[in-house]
Amino acid sequence: MDYVLKTNALCKKYKDYKALNGLSMNVPKGAIYGFVGKNGAGKTTLIRLICGLQEPTSGEYTLYGTKSTDKEILKARRRMGAVVETPSIYLDMTAEDNLKQQYRVLGLPSYDGLADILKLVRLENTGKKKAKNFSLGMRQRLGIAIALVGDPDFLVLDEPVNGLDPQGIIEMRELILKLNREQQITVLISSHILDELSRLATHYGFIDKGQIVKEISAKELDTACRKCIRLEVTNTQTLSRVLDGMNVEYIIVSDKAADVYARINVSKLTLALAKENCEVISMKERDESLESYYVGLVGGKEND
């Protein structure tokens, strides 16, 4: 698998505080990577490091195969667009003038593609309206438009839906999906709004106290969060034999428990187990959400 970003044991220390503590993560090319963690877990610190706004205390990362210690890292970063914390926009300028300013900052020879970017983020009809008169959602989309100047193929977004109303959230979601599917842009989204992230992400990295505690694909997460019946029995070997005979999908999760992914005839199952001296201790439905999965990994409330 090709990776746009790989980090290896990244650490960032501020006096006695470790914002990142040996963080290792892998963002596959073409992914929408949901970077999930509580406020203060280290999400923004990681983003600031890969954008070159700060230097790591130790460890390294590679961007498109170029190491952070290599002189070519500056060239690799040109393939990346980012909106860190709040969009960097000039409030007294129009959307078009904001983009022109970014073209000049990057030293681009012409304004080719400017109109296309404005259309992509649905700001093509804002005319002479200044950014200070934009809604929060429009400002967020303008921030992404600025990040798209220079035609990056990796976009880093720090809490892109924070503070947006429901309509603004929908517009942001549609834009991110469009950039990923139609423009083939790899997207890293830092967020603690898990319900929204679950509608977008193809991969997840869960961060806690400056460390990645789990990386998982959306497909693997769907499997982990599927509806099932958790059966606790006196003998899982016997349970396994009986479920195989019933041609039922299941996973043994411990020496006394299994998750069954099918509707089962409870009477038939308990009778079959009783014949082999296996008792059912408990049986309950499980339907884990992304939020509960995350809380199970790191503990506490998801938005602490």
Residue 73 in this model has a pLDDT that exceeds 60: yes
Helix (H) or strand (E) holding 299: none
Please check the confidence at residue 143 and state whether its pLDDT lies above 90. Answer: yes
- What is the Cα–Cα distance from 290 to 300, expressed in whole angstroms? 14
Give the pLDDT of residue 173: 93
Residue 214, classified by CB atoms within 10 Å of its CB into exposed (0-12), middle (13-18) or buried (19+), is middle
pLDDT of residue 87: 80
Digit-coded pLDDT (tens) for 173-195:
999 999 999 999 999 999 878 88
Bigger pLDDT: 292 or 190?
A: 190
Domain 3-222 sits in CATH at 3.40.50.300
Structure tokens at 255: 């020496």
Give the domain ranges of the chain. Answer: 3-222, 227-287
pLDDT score recorded for residue 80: 95
Question: What is the average pLDDT value for the chain, to the nearest integer?
Answer: 90
Greatest mean pLDDT range, 30-34, 52-56, 253-257: 30-34
Q: Which residue has the higher pLDDT, 177 or 297?
A: 177
CB neighbour list of residue 292: distance below 8 Å, 6 or more residues apart = none
Q: What is the pLDDT of residue 195?
A: 83
Provide mean pLDDT across the span 67-90: 90
Structure-token pair, residue 283: 């049986």
Judged against a pLDDT cut of 60, whether residue 234 lies above it is answered with yes
Domain 227-287 in the same topology as domain 3-222: no
DSSP 39-78: TTSSHHHHHHHHTTSS--SEEEEEETTEETTSTTHHHHHT
Strands (E), 15-78: 17-28, 32-36, 58-63, 66-67
The rounded percent of the chain whose pLDDT value lies above 70 is 98
Spatial neighbors of 268 by CB under 8 A, at least 6 apart, are 246
State the CATH class of domain 227-287.
alpha beta
Least confident range of 128-132, 147-151, 210-214, 261-265: 261-265
pLDDT at residue 300 in the model:
58
Average confidence (pLDDT) over 228-233: 90
Q: In Å, how far are 32, 95, 171, 185, 280 from 178, measured between CA atoms?
A: 11, 20, 11, 9, 49
Between CA 61 and CA 73 the distance in angstroms is: 10
The sign of the torsion formed by the CA atoms of 211, 214, 216, 221 equals negative
262 has a pLDDT exceeding 90 = no
